[in-house]
Amino acid sequence: MPRSSAVRLSHFLPSLLLLLAGLAAAYVKDLNVFFTSLFNVLPTLVLLLGGAYCAVYRRQRELFLMVTVYIAYFLLDTQTDFYRDNGKVREDAAVVFHLVCLLLPLLFGLFAAWQERTHLFQDMVARFAVLLVFGSVALALEQSFPQALLLWLSEIRWPALHGAWMSLIQLSYPMFAAVFLLLAWQYWRNPRPLHAAQLVGLLGLFWMLPKTFILPFTLNIMCSQVMLMIAAAVAHEAYQMAFRDELTGLPGRRALNERMQRLGRNYVLAMSDVDHFKKFNDTHGHDVGDQVLRLVASKLSKIGGGGRAYRYGGEEFALVFAGKTIDECMPHLEVIRQSIETYAIQLRNPDSRPQDDQQGRQRRSGAGASSVSVTVSIGVAERVEQRTPEEVLKSADQALYNAKGAGRNCVIAFGQNRRGAVRMDAAAG
């Protein structure tokens, strides 16, 4: 689970930019014919393209989120078009608007929290049935008992909690608050770009509804932006699946291959391997082995000297130093090697994880705590004339093999012999 603030910011940034762009566009007063025509077709265009994108990747949750937002847009757009053309609202405008204000956050939260199941067809039928039931009941009540429904929706049930600033029916505010807390809890448990987009999208809908009849094209713009947030989150997650290693959070092999194609004339590549990892895995189990890989990845991600760490595969990691020489990189690699060697890994039962950082520090500092440590071997190679990145990486891998033969827990450059291994204990001797 990603925890760094930078990763979390990357989850929210695309949606926040789309939200700000939507807010800015909504407040533009004088629009030319091109933008007027664009905003009229934009929600439908976004639904068709974004919905097709979600359908191809079998992302039913995101598809139904888009459909929910579009249905709300369609119902309200019919009302706003009539208002602009006739200078007055339709007779059913109030009850339709209040129903949308209540059901939009409800269905948005329901589909946002509804995880996909194994049987995609059954899951799609179930989602469609829920949407159909809510729509049918709302339509039947609106057609059969419009006045009674309007009175029930617009009733102020908690006068002490009702403020003059409230532009929506009172029931809408606790509904939005409950859904916001639900989606915030979902993101806290499982930080994902999609969950971040759902949160920001809900805020956009909450801002949009009171402005529907006040600011022209607010409805078109914000509904389009919310659907774009969802589509962008799907694309973001697809990119992460393809280019980022799920266990360690580092960029994966495919990202490394792409980076190697964009290196300049001077660069250094290093290959790192966890020493005796198979034996460690067999002794302590795969859960502890995964913990070790995450630790090594965390240390390597902090490499200095402009280096960038990648998960190469298994217990192997690659490091890329663009525009550097091998002499500039060796001290930084040695610092990382020492950092991993001296770090004590506390063995713990996964069922008794600490609830917070303070409790975790207390456990780690407790007497008699069971701990282990690991070391890494590192091979380094520098680009020379007429050598491709693949050849440099192969040389780094050969240097890694030499580091293993030199006794492990050391840094060796390609072409060095065992006596040239960089290791603090040897240097001290």
Cβ-contact 178, 109 below 8 angstroms: yes
Last residue of a domain, one of 212, 241, 270: 241
Q: For 251, which DSSP code?
A: B
Q: Are residue 270 and residue 223 in the same domain, yes or no?
A: no
- The pLDDT profile of the chain, 429 residues, written as one tens digit per residue, is 344 677 788 899 999 999 999 999 888 877 777 777 888 899 999 999 998 888 887 889 999 999 999 999 999 999 999 988 888 889 999 999 999 999 999 999 999 999 877 677 888 899 999 999 999 999 999 999 999 999 999 999 988 888 888 899 999 999 999 999 999 999 999 899 999 999 999 999 999 999 999 888 899 999 999 999 999 999 988 888 778 888 888 888 888 988 888 888 889 999 999 998 888 888 888 888 888 898 899 999 999 989 999 999 889 999 999 989 999 999 999 999 999 998 887 766 555 445 554 555 555 444 445 777 889 999 999 988 657 889 999 999 999 999 998 899 999 998 875 544 555 443 333
Question: How far, in Å, are 75, 150, 225 from residue 25 at the CA level?
Answer: 22, 32, 11
Q: Are residue 207 and residue 343 in the same domain, yes or no?
A: no
Q: Does a structural domain hold residue 2?
A: no
Q: What is the CATH number of the domain that holds 259?
A: 3.30.70.270
- Going by C-beta distance under 8 Å and a sequence separation of 6 or more, which residues neighbour residue 410? 337, 377, 378, 403, 421, 422, 423, 426
Q: Are residue 174 and residue 32 in the same domain, yes or no?
A: yes
Catalytic annotation, residues: 315
Question: In angstroms, how far is the first alpha carbon of the chain from the final one?
Answer: 42
Q: Are residue 255 and residue 319 in the same domain, yes or no?
A: yes
Q: Are residue 296 and residue 181 in the same domain, yes or no?
A: no
Last residue of a domain, one of 241, 275, 300: 241
Q: Which of 186, 184, 185, 191 is nearest to 2 (CA)?
A: 191
Q: Are residue 306 and residue 222 in the same domain, yes or no?
A: no
Q: Are residue 258 and residue 205 in the same domain, yes or no?
A: no
Last residue of a domain, one of 220, 241, 262: 241
Q: Are residue 181 and residue 306 in the same domain, yes or no?
A: no
Q: Are residue 178 and residue 33 in the same domain, yes or no?
A: yes
Q: Does a structural domain hold residue 396?
A: yes
Q: How many domains does the chain have?
A: 2
Q: Does a structural domain hold residue 312?
A: yes
Tokens 């009941």 sit on residue: 137
Q: Are residue 55 and residue 173 in the same domain, yes or no?
A: yes
Q: Are residue 295 and residue 407 in the same domain, yes or no?
A: yes
Q: Which domain holds residue 68?
A: 7-156+164-241
